[in-house]
Amino acid sequence: MTQPESSTLLSRTDLTLDHLQQAQTNDALSGQVIVVTGAGDGIGKAAALDFASAGAHVVLIGRTQDKLEAVYDQIEATTQTEPIILPLDLNDLTTESAQELAHGIEQTYGRLDGVLLNASLLGDKMSITQYPPKVWSTVMNVNLNSAFHLTQALLPLLEVSPAGRIIYTTSSVGREGRAYWGAYAVSKFATEGLMQTLADELKNISRVRVHCINPGGTRTAMRAKAYPGEDPKTVPAPESHMPLYRYLLSPLSQDFHGISWDARDCLSQ
């Protein structure tokens, strides 16, 4: 592992809009290779398009090939980057298939600089006592276990990068228990724990930086399913969060590590 240049790290309160503005250039992620899960829709799609517009070669992972192809076509039409598509149901991901994915990325690009673990399932909103075990297992596989498998498989590639990054996706219901949020909430509690544990393990021995981002209420299909009576125009579009995502995946954010961010708070300073 590469020793970090400094052990002095900043806290979330040190982040300013000036920090975020530094990364808002068309070459902020120039030449970087970034994996995005759930890249076919919502926040994942917005992130993939944003990272590519900033110069990154994006690895698009998702369940639905048609959606991934649409994102791929848009990136090809508007940027000079080289995206690839990896259709994959994260419910079926194993240690072996994650290692094969890592090998494929290494063979294609020879490097990896960032990972956005964005894909999540909402599951059912009902009490723990009534929760269907099969749905529980599927949500845990997609939201948590796949993040573990991908972290293990991709971390060696990230260690080679001068500024490797992993961004996990969390939620406010993963910080304080809320009735009827079931497996989704529990998976996000565990995601917070995964990030914190890994961050503590890496902080003195590696330049890889890891974080969680809680996007908060965002205009996505998952939000519409969770709050069917809500007017989608009352919550921000995924694109509004991208300054934070781009900054944390850029080398500019090296002094921040192991933080669980609230995107809406960071962007409303």
Please list the active-site residues.
184
The tokens of 234 are what?
Answer: 């009352």
Asked if residues 264 and 216 have their Cβ atoms less than 8 Å apart, the reply is yes
Dihedral of the CA atoms 229, 233, 239, 244 (nearest 10)? -80
The tokens of 10 are what?
Answer: 């900043």
Asked if residues 23 and 252 have their Cβ atoms less than 8 Å apart, the reply is yes
What angle (nearest 5°) sits at the alpha carbon of residue 68, between those of residues 244 and 242? 10
State residue 3 phi and psi, 5-degree precision: -65, 140
Number of C-beta neighbours around residue 82 at 10 A: 14
Query: Is 89 in a helix, a strand, or coil?
Result: coil
The tokens of 258 are what?
Answer: 């192991």
Query: Is 213 in a helix, a strand, or coil?
Result: strand
State residue 104 phi and psi, 5-degree precision: -65, -40
* Cα dist from 179 to 35, 126, 129, 182, 222, whole Å: 33, 8, 11, 7, 18
Helix (H) or strand (E) holding 210: strand 209-214
The tokens of 34 are what?
Answer: 């970034």
d(CA 248, CA 211): 8
